[in-house]
Amino acid sequence: MMASSHPLPKPEPRHAPANHIIAARNEFANLFGDLAKGKRNWQAIAFLLAGVLGIVTLAYVRLASSSRVVPYIVEVDKLRQITAVGTVEQMAAPDQRLIASQLAQFLRAIRTVLPAAAAAGQAEMIRRGYAFVAPEAAGFLNDYFASPRNDPRALGTRLTRQVDVTGVLRLPNSDVWRLQWTEVERSTQPGGAVRTTAWEGYATVKLVPPATVDAIQDNPLGLFVTTINWTQVGENISDMADSSGGEPAPKTDSTHGSGDH
């Protein structure tokens, strides 16, 4: 019998199955190792972005808490042409006409009496008047209005008072201003008397630039009255009625704050 010329196949090495298992394990380990490594990378990026976001948030909070309104003053002439523009800080010595205008506004707000039907308007006028008052002078006004004869809510039930400012002049080399005005009181009763009085007063002022939107709306110049006193200097009652039940005119009302006269 002749032997076959074809060589017999060599048997597989006994360790081949172990090699397949090791290769599979390595492939599995490499696959999930890459996933784990990618997870760590994304975690690092997430922590980095969270840190950046925290820093930006803190910066915005700090900026918002330290932000302030910078008020501007625009001066115009009689022809409504702009003659000066600047922030309150830059305008260390604002035009005296601006101060005079706001002092006149303060007087009208504090001394005007509206009829009782306009109680809301009266309260708003008083509020706007107090926007010009420093704590040094607020105590005087509180005491003044606490008296029934000066309370505009009580006066409005029997009379109205119109205030016409006739003069606002600064005394030389000081923060004291001389104020002159007249008041016309009309009885709300038919045929009541008309009482006209002349007044003179002195107010000490200071400038504190406003830092909020509300302060700019009520007191754009930052003008505050620290002391004020006023005196009635004249009186005239018409012959329309002999008795009007009008307010007894106080001769002198004054306050002394901490400001220098």
CATH at residue 126: 3.10.450.230
* CA–CA distance, 199 with 238 (Å, rounded to integer): 18
Percent share of the chain, pLDDT over 70? 68
Asked, for residue 10, whether it belongs to a domain, the answer is no
Closest C-alpha among 179, 194, 187, 193 to residue 233: 179
Per the domain annotation, does 115 fall within a domain?
A: yes
More confidently predicted of 5 and 220: 220
| Contact of 246 with 193, CB cutoff 8 Å | yes
Q: Is residue 89 part of a domain?
A: no
CA distances from 115 to 23, 26, 123, 181, 252 (A): 101, 97, 12, 21, 25
Q: Which residue has the tokens 């006209």?
A: 196
Q: What is the mean pLDDT of residues 202-218?
A: 87
Q: Are residues 111 and 215 in the same domain?
A: yes
* Cα 23 to Cα 86: distance, rounded to the nearest angstrom: 81
User: Does 3 map to a domain?
Assistant: no
Task: Find the domain containing 156 and state its range.
Answer: 94-254
pLDDT at 259: 39
CA dihedral (40, 42, 46, 49) positive or negative: positive
Q: Indicate whether 127 and 220 sit together in one domain.
A: yes
Output 247 or 112, whichever has higher pLDDT: 112
136 plus 232 within the same structural domain:
yes
Asked if the model's pLDDT at residue 258 lies above 60, the reply is no
Task: Clarify whether residues 54 and 100 are in a common domain.
Answer: no
| 31 falls within a domain | no
Report pLDDT digits (tens) over 193-206: 899 999 999 999 99
Of residues 127, 187, 132, 177, the one with CA closest to residue 157: 187
Tokens coding 69: 């309104």
Q: Is residue 157 part of a domain?
A: yes
Average pLDDT over residues 91-116: 89
48 with 128, same domain: the answer is no
Kindly tell me if the per-residue pLDDT of 241 is higher than 80: no
Residues 244 and 123 in one domain: yes
One domain, residues 48 and 154: no
For the entire predicted model, the pTM comes to: 0.59
Number of domains in the chain: 2
- pLDDT of amino acid 220: 86
Tell me, yes or no, whether 53 and 152 share the same domain. no
**19 occurs within a structural domain:** no
